[in-house]
Amino acid sequence: MILRCTKKLLVIIGPSSLADPPPEPDPEDWYGNLLWSERRKCLLLTHSATLFTIFEPDVAASDLRATAGTVFGLIQRELRGEDLPPHTFGDHTGEQVLLARTADRSVLGCMNDMAFICEDTIRRSGGLSRTNISRLNRALRRNINSARAYERPIDLTLQRLGIEGRR
C-alpha cells in the first residue's frame, strides 16, 4: 500500500521514511494529511480512486510513525462501520505501507474540502470532545465531490464491489 503524505504529515513521520525511488501514482494510493483541532493532531486519510475519507482525531506522533498499523486499523474500522467487507480496498494483510509525496492535486483539493467540513462540524458541535466522529466520517463519505464526477465516495466504493443503490 502506498500512503502519499502532505508535507505537514511528513514532518511528523520523518521524510527519511519516503520510498526511494518514489512509486508512480496509482488510483489505489491513499493520501494522508495532518490537521490540527484544538491543538491536537488529527489524521485525514483519503483513497485516491473513490475519495473514501477517514478523519481520526487526537492521534499521537508515535501512532503516525507506526504508519502501517495505524492506517490499516483505521481503514478496517471504517469499513466495518459501513458494513463493507475488509477486502474492499484490497487484501493488505502483512503488507507494508510505502510512504511517498502527494501526486494528485484533485485528491489534495478534495482533502482540503474535507478538512473544512471537519473543522466546521467540530465548531458547530461545540468542540472536538462533543463531536460524533463516526457521524462525521459517514458524512464525509456522502459528500458529493467534483473531483470524481460529482459522485459520493460511498457510492464509488460500492460500485467497485458491484453493489449499487444500497446507501
Q: What is the pLDDT of residues 113-123, one digit of tens each?
A: 999 999 999 99
Q: What is the mean pLDDT of residues 34-52?
A: 96
CATH of domain 2-160: 3.30.420
66 or 78: which leads in pLDDT? 78
CB 30 within 8 A of CB 3: yes
- Rounded percentage of the chain residues whose pLDDT exceeds 90: 76
- Report pTM: 0.93
Instruction: Report the pLDDT averaged over residues 27-52.
Output: 96
At residue 36, does pLDDT exceed 80? yes
Place of cell 518514489: 22
Q: State yes or no: pLDDT of 24 exceeds 60.
A: yes
Domain spans of the chain, in order of start: 2-160
- From residue 27, give the alpha-carbon distance in Å to each of 5, 20, 61, 120, 134: 15, 20, 27, 29, 25
